[in-house]
Chain A
Amino acid sequence: MLEIKNLHARVDGNEILEGISLTVKAGEIHAVMGPNGSGKSTLAKILSGHPSYEVADGQILFEKNNLLEMDAEERSLSGIFMGFQYPVEVPGVNNAEFLRMAFNARRVRDGEEEIDPLDFDELLSEKMKMLKMENKYKERNLNDGFSGGEKKKNEILQMAILKPKLAILDETDSGLDIDALRTVAEGVNSLRNEKNALILITHYQRLLDYIKPDFVHVLHKGKIVKSGDKALAIELESQGYDWVTTEN
């Protein structure tokens, strides 16, 4: 589904990613871990089409298409979703209305008719119930004044509505309390099937207890320095990053 080959990327002249290769197949879950500043969010933003990052070398194929030639809108419409580490507040844009716009953008692209507002409201209610979100978040403006945890839940709500093929969740677990983490993890799991894939960026093995990864990668200074299975995450939890990063 996703093939990253030797990706080098810069921002404002600084080389941040220094040759990343990663292949994600349908049905798989990949966890990406690594110390602060190692380039995890950079990778996520490049995948979702952020204009500030300059790809200096390498290739990204998504379902055999050249991802780097697509803008953020196209990537979203073709099934890529990024859950932001720091979701942006957009005052003045109603949450439910925005979700409906995003949902309809996808329908229109697929040649379908826009959804009836009442039907959408029903769909939204159902997803919000799954995530234990109160109805009042429909009326609120997009992330505006949301607490850290509420913003993360709202990201997963968007994911649940948009049903992406590939979701990249950037530290969705940070900021969630224990109950919310379980709810969100259950939500994410319920959206899984053999046709979609997940990249989880996280610092904590705790999330991986709920959402079990097939692969764990450690990013350090813009490179994947180690890959393994879930055992790697457990090892990292007890030993820290030193033992993987000093090896290189």
Chain B
Amino acid sequence: MPNTLVKSSAESAFLDLHKKLLERGRPALAELQEIALRRFDSLRFPHSKHEMYTYVNTKELAATSFGLPDDAANVSEDFVSRHIYPGCEHQCLVFVDGTFDRGLSRFEGMRADIAPLSEADRELKNYLSETAANENDVFASLSTAFCGDGIIFKVDDNTQISDTLQVLFVSTGRAAAPVMHAPRLVWQLGKLSEVKVIEKFVGRDGGYFINSVQDWLLAEGAGVSFTQVQADVFDSWHFSKTRVHLNRDAKFYSTNASSGTQLARHHYEVWLKEKGSELKLNGISVLDGKEQVHNFVRIHHAAPQCVSRQHFKNIVNGAARSSFDGTVIVNREAQLTTSDQLVNNLMLSDNCHTNNKPNLMILADDVKCTHGVTVGQIDEDQWFYLQTRGLSAKAAKELLTRSFAQSIIQTIEFPAVVEELSGSLLQKLEATDA
């Protein structure tokens, strides 16, 4: 490998760690790992002015000395079932420390194929190699370089799965040294197929780095409803990269609810590749203490008559931080594009921070695109109004905060998730009043 001598210790630590990984035996995705590792080596960890990490300080994370995971982490069925939403008991995929756990998963009567990523067909393998070689995000490269094996979730043409599927990512945490988990999922959706997916990320103990990558490949007319709940423990790192490819008339509706960690970052990269495809990307973060959530979004409108709608809301308290860095790129051929991008921040304390950079790059001339950001506090007039009707200052503030979150929460179609979110939101507000 070139430049080994001038490399900073952060990168070489991971390269050394990878050598140790190889000593354990040839990984199932050896070739892909090799490509990703080379890409990681050329991308390098971001310096402080890196354009993809403007608001995210990764120095401490990169400098952390990570170890390899122990062979078999043990997670009880009881722990798992506590985190499975009602209605998903019979359809859930469980990952433990980044690795798919067949024993803990349930797929009774599932109308989809689930296969290891190492068994991908040639076409998918080519896609994965090419993506890894051209990866733009160094942490996604790192994830692929360390990914043991992933899962392909394949739904045939014309198959609509009405039951909701849950994916649970459990990190056991607290090993001798911090460990990075690199779960990998590829979702292949056939023509006119439909799925509803809830993903939840939880930790049993802290000190881990969950660094996931997923690819959503939607054929003509496919539809996805995707809800993500990030509920890791505070002293963990959570990075995710979600790549979405939408073919003709495909629809991808996504809502992410994050409670933050010491550093959480979601990277979305979406291609609206063919006419009539539609994206909804929503996010809500409820942050307190020193929690952070950063969203980084790139949306490529490459075909005419596509729609993308983004709405992110952040409730930021304590000394928490949020950021949004989003760009919509409308290619020359993407006439009649409709795109909007809105970020609302509710700042509840003097010490909290938010940075927002919505951006549009429009090369087509006949488009309807908007973007906007608001940063505000609890509205004093609303707050007073509610108190004059007998609500305490605290109850009124809670009500207003919940109502701020409402427009995103109501896009989630699963009552159990909504209930859980409202609960944790209130819990955080209460914690700070004490």
Q: Is the CB of A90 within 8 A of B389?
A: no
Residues of B within 8 A of A50 (CB): 384
Residues 341-374 of B at the A interface (beta carbon under 8 Å):
none
Residues of A within 8 A of B15 (CB): none
In the bound complex, what is the Cα–Cα distance between A87 and B381 (angstroms)? 9
In the bound complex, what is the Cα–Cα distance between A101 and B400 (angstroms)? 13
The interface-forming segment of A24-32, A70-78, A214-222 is: A70-78
In the bound complex, what is the Cα–Cα distance between A75 and B387 (angstroms)? 9
The interface-forming segment of B117-125, B201-209, B391-399 is: B391-399
In the complex, the number of residue pairs spanning A and B with C-beta atoms less than 8 Å apart equals 67
Residues of B within 8 A of A82 (CB): 388
Q: Is the CB of B403 within 8 A of A88?
A: no
The answer, among B390, B395, B399, B404, for a CB contact under 8 Å with A76, is: B390
Among residues of B, the one whose C-beta sits closest to the C-beta of A107 is B390
Residues of B within 8 A of A84 (CB): 385
Residues of B within 8 A of A90 (CB): 382, 385-386, 400, 403
Q: Is the CB of B403 within 8 A of A77?
A: no
Q: Is the CB of B390 within 8 A of A162?
A: yes
Q: Is the CB of A92 within 8 A of B387?
A: no
Residues of B within 8 A of A101 (CB): 391, 395, 399
Q: Is B12 an interface residue (CB 8 A)?
A: no
Residues 389-421 of B at the A interface (beta carbon under 8 Å):
389-393, 395, 399-400, 402-407
Shortest C-beta distance, A126 to chain B (Å), equals 19
Among residues of A, the one whose C-beta sits closest to the C-beta of B402 is A92
User: In this complex, which of B382, B388, B405, B406 has the most chain A Cβ atoms within 10 angstroms of its Cβ?
Assistant: B388
Q: Is the CB of A87 within 8 A of B385?
A: yes
In the bound complex, what is the Cα–Cα distance between A179 and B212 (angstroms)? 63
In the bound complex, what is the Cα–Cα distance between A93 and B378 (angstroms)? 14
Q: Is the CB of A48 within 8 A of B402?
A: no
Q: Is the CB of B385 within 8 A of A105?
A: no
Q: Is the CB of A49 within 8 A of B388?
A: yes
Shortest C-beta distance, A238 to chain B (Å), equals 35
Shortest C-beta distance, A160 to chain B (Å), equals 13
User: In this complex, which of B384, B395, B402 has the most chain A Cβ atoms within 10 angstroms of its Cβ?
Assistant: B384
Residues of B within 8 A of A48 (CB): 388
In the bound complex, what is the Cα–Cα distance between A158 and B389 (angstroms)? 8
Q: Is A37 an interface residue (CB 8 A)?
A: no
In the bound complex, what is the Cα–Cα distance between A90 and B391 (angstroms)? 14
In the bound complex, what is the Cα–Cα distance between A164 and B391 (angstroms)? 15
Complex interface bits, A144-185 against B, C-beta within 8 A gives 1, otherwise 0: 000000000000001000100000000000000000000000
Q: Is the CB of B393 within 8 A of A71?
A: yes
Among residues of A, the one whose C-beta sits closest to the C-beta of B405 is A92
Q: Is the CB of A92 within 8 A of B388?
A: no
Among residues of B, the one whose C-beta sits closest to the C-beta of A86 is B381
Q: Is the CB of B403 within 8 A of A92?
A: yes
Q: Is the CB of B389 within 8 A of A162?
A: yes
Main SS at interface, chain B: helix
Q: Is the CB of B393 within 8 A of A88?
A: no
In the bound complex, what is the Cα–Cα distance between A134 and B208 (angstroms)? 55
Complex interface bits, B303-338 against A, C-beta within 8 A gives 1, otherwise 0: 000000000000000000000000000000000000
Residues 60-116 of A at the B interface (beta carbon under 8 Å):
71-73, 75-77, 81-82, 84, 87-93, 98, 101-102, 105-106, 109
Q: Is the CB of B387 within 8 A of A72?
A: yes
Residues of A within 8 A of B402 (CB): 92
Among residues of A, the one whose C-beta sits closest to the C-beta of B385 is A88
Shortest C-beta distance, A102 to chain B (Å), equals 4
Among residues of A, the one whose C-beta sits closest to the C-beta of B387 is A72
Q: Is the CB of A105 within 8 A of B390?
A: yes
Among residues of A, the one whose C-beta sits closest to the C-beta of B404 is A92
Residues of B within 8 A of A71 (CB): 387, 393
In the bound complex, what is the Cα–Cα distance between A77 and B381 (angstroms)? 19
Q: Is the CB of A102 within 8 A of B399?
A: no
Shortest C-beta distance, A189 to chain B (Å), equals 22
In the bound complex, what is the Cα–Cα distance between A109 and B387 (angstroms)? 14
User: In this complex, which of A73, A76, A84 has the most chain B Cβ atoms within 10 angstroms of its Cβ?
Assistant: A73
Residues of B within 8 A of A81 (CB): 388
User: In this complex, which of A49, A50, A51, A92 has the most chain B Cβ atoms within 10 angstroms of its Cβ?
Assistant: A92
In the bound complex, what is the Cα–Cα distance between A101 and B407 (angstroms)? 21
In the bound complex, what is the Cα–Cα distance between A56 and B384 (angstroms)? 21
Residues of A within 8 A of B400 (CB): 90, 93
In the bound complex, what is the Cα–Cα distance between A84 and B389 (angstroms)? 11
Quick one: given A92-B404, A92-B406, A93-B403, are A76 and B389 in contact (CB under 8 Å)? Answer: yes
Q: Is the CB of B381 within 8 A of A88?
A: yes
Shortest C-beta distance, B122 to chain A (Å), equals 51
User: In this complex, which of B389, B399, B400 has the most chain A Cβ atoms within 10 angstroms of its Cβ?
Assistant: B389
In the bound complex, what is the Cα–Cα distance between A105 and B387 (angstroms)? 11
Residues of A within 8 A of B407 (CB): 92
Q: Is the CB of B385 within 8 A of A102?
A: no
Among residues of B, the one whose C-beta sits closest to the C-beta of A83 is B388
Q: Is the CB of A73 within 8 A of B403?
A: no
Quick one: given A51-B384, A72-B384, are A91 and B403 in contact (CB under 8 Å)? Answer: yes
Residues of A within 8 A of B391 (CB): 73, 101-102, 105
In the bound complex, what is the Cα–Cα distance between A118 and B384 (angstroms)? 28
Q: Is the CB of B387 within 8 A of A73?
A: yes
Among residues of B, the one whose C-beta sits closest to the C-beta of A92 is B403
In the bound complex, what is the Cα–Cα distance between A87 and B382 (angstroms)? 9
In the bound complex, what is the Cα–Cα distance between A105 and B399 (angstroms)? 14
Residues of B within 8 A of A162 (CB): 389-390
13 chain-A/chain-B pairs, Cβ below 8 angstroms: A48-B388, A49-B387, A50-B384, A73-B392, A84-B385, A88-B384, A90-B386, A90-B403, A92-B407, A93-B403, A98-B389, A105-B395, A162-B390
Q: Chain B residues in contact with chain A, CB under 8 A?
A: 379, 381-382, 384-393, 395, 399-400, 402-407
- Known contacts A76-B389, A92-B405, A158-B389; 4 additional CB pairs below 8 A are A50-B384, A76-B387, A89-B382, A101-B399
| 4 closest residue pairs by CB, A with B | A92-B403, A72-B387, A105-B390, A92-B406
